[in-house]
Structure 1
Amino acid sequence: MLLFGTRIPLSALFGATVMVLFILLAIFGPWITPYAPDATVGKTWTGPSTEFWLGTDNIGRDILSRIIAGAQTTIGIALVTTVLSFTLGVSAGIFASVGGPVLDNLLSRVVDMFLSVPVLIMALIVLTALGSSIPTLILTIALLDSTRVFLVARAVAVDIAARDFIDVARLRGEKMPWIMFHEILPNAMPPLISEFGLRFCFNFLYVASLSFLGLGVQPPQADWGGMVRENGQAIAFGILAPIWPALAIALVTVAVNLVVDWLLSRNVKPSGASAEL
């Protein structure tokens, strides 16, 4: 299929369609849920029916309503977290590339220190100590994830900073902020956009994993990871209640990866305010 002159493979088109569907659910969820997400409206763990399309959960709440409400929570938190982590990581990475060897080594060693501990374990420690409020969850994951973004941004920016048009900008007397955000950042956008999709996918899974472990989004607020945990025992009885939120997590993860794979496969040349002279 052609879109704006670019041929999009069916896999990427499928991924984009799924992403748009869940984004629409997140935006319009409060107006289209059949029942209130926190209301007990039926018996425990009933199967799919005309009244409850996906059945009910462990305390009789409508699963479809909670999945729609959970899209806003899970996807929204992951998106805000990724935007924040990219703002921090990209700014620090580009700053390190043009700030000189002392600053570069200092920031790199700080990042290495955080990278020595797995993100999920560090998040568990911080959330256990500070509590599991949504602002704390967002800040914790964003700060930890920004270290990964820093490595990518720095690697891309170091290559761009060595090009001739950066020297020209310095000879013109441009200050460091201008060079960072008007010369380097526009030319670093293609790989960073692809990395944004990957980091969103990882953060989305982190949020779901922490909720599954009881340290993410807290009940009664709907969250897909928490829904899997709340209904996990239903599997022993052959009940599908935990399958639906798990399927939603899998669909979003696969959809984002399909789109990111397509973006990574495209041969996009650097463009922006500056071009090679």
Structure 2
Amino acid sequence: MRHTRPRGAARRRTERLLLLALLAIPLGLALVGPFLPTPDHDRTQPFDPAAPWPGTDYLGASVLDGLLDGGWGIVTTAAAATALAYLVGLPIGLAAAATRHRWLDEILMRPFDLLLALPSLLLMLLLASIAPPTAWMLVLIVALVNLPDIARIVRAAALEVAHRPAIEAMWLQGESRRHRSIYIARSILPTVAADAGVRLVGAFYLVAAASFLGVGAGPEASDWAVMVDVNRGGIFLSPWGVVLPAALLVALSVGLNLLFDRLLSRKVPS
């Protein structure tokens, strides 16, 4: 029994260090990489095995330059799309749960059921085919893909709170709709926080998939997902152009999941 606490403390310390590494490396490269000075590299032949590590890409440019510049777009687009989806979906879900008119609930939620009938990637491709391929348009598309799930989860979580005796008392006392909505929003905050972590990782995957499919960034853009796509033809000649950006994508996804799991586990009473 004497060794239980030291071993548990060592395990928790190891988990924190692993989490720090998984997040710090890809986030650091994504947020700081575009502003770091890099040595000038003359373009050589594609996938040049004699080039300095980590080699060259399919155009003969340095893979290092792509790694430093390729994370900014994915991270910022996913974060902006998640924030936009919640700015729209949260008030809609709260309004649908708090209303006493069933027709208003139907008007607010039924369009989202139609959107949910389409697979997310198919919906993204359909929207991208009729929209200009810009970064802000990709933010709007990813936000729209996530919006139905967010609105439905917020409504489901808020529905139980909206029928509590406290809300009934507020309504009888003439409290404003804004006051009642704030109370409901505070009550469902743990559920929203848990879903936000999942949505952020999901948005990250959608942005990466869109870049991989050429919906967002073009093949000439500095993007980790695009790097995996365009350099896979030379993986046996210069593997680092595929291995390193793929490892950064995986590390960031796993790190975000672990971070939100730890943050939410602290809120659960023992």
Instruction: Choose which of 21, 39, 48 in structure 2 pairs with 1:46.
Output: 48
Structure 2 runs not aligned, ≥5 long: 6-10
Higher alpha-carbon Rg:
2
Are 1:163 and 2:167 an aligned pair?
Answer: no
Matching residue of 2:8: none
Matching residue of 2:261: 261
Matching residue of 1:273: none
Deviation track 1:137-181 (CA, whole Å, cap 9, x = no partner) reads 11011012111111111111112112232223323322222321x
Change (3 A) 1:113 1:98: same
Q: Distance between the aligned counterparts of 2:17 and 2:239, measured in 1?
A: 32
Normalised by the length of structure 1, the TM-score is: 0.83
Change (3 A) 1:245 1:105: same
Matching residue of 1:248: 248
Q: Distance between the aligned counterparts of 2:50 and 2:188, measured in 1?
A: 48
> For residue 19 of structure 2, what is the amino acid of its counterpart?
G
The percent identity for this pair of structures is 27
Counterpart of 1:231 in 2: which secondary structure?
helix
Q: Distance between the aligned counterparts of 2:58 and 2:139, measured in 1?
A: 28
Correspondence 1:5-154 to 2 at 5 A:
10-11=14-15, 14-35=18-39, 41-47=43-49, 52-100=52-100, 101-154=102-155
Change (3 A) 1:187 1:13: farther
Q: Is the CA contact 2:46–2:56 (under 8 Å) kept in the aligned structure 1?
A: yes
Q: Distance between the aligned counterparts of 1:47 and 1:165, measured in 2?
A: 69
Deviation at 1:71, TM superposition (A): 1.4
Q: Distance between the aligned counterparts of 1:238 and 1:41, measured in 2?
A: 15
Change (3 A) 1:72 1:158: same
Correspondence 1:211-226 to 2 at 5 A:
211-226=211-226
Deviation at 1:93, TM superposition (A): 0.7
Normalised by the length of structure 2, the TM-score is: 0.85
Q: Distance between the aligned counterparts of 1:33 and 1:209, measured in 2?
A: 29
Deviation track 1:70-100 (CA, whole Å, cap 9, x = no partner) reads 1111111011011111111111111110123
Deviation at 1:242, TM superposition (A): 1.2
Q: Distance between the aligned counterparts of 2:221 and 2:257, measured in 1?
A: 27
Matching residue of 1:4: none
Q: Distance between the aligned counterparts of 2:12 and 2:147, measured in 1?
A: 30
Deviation at 1:243, TM superposition (A): 1.4
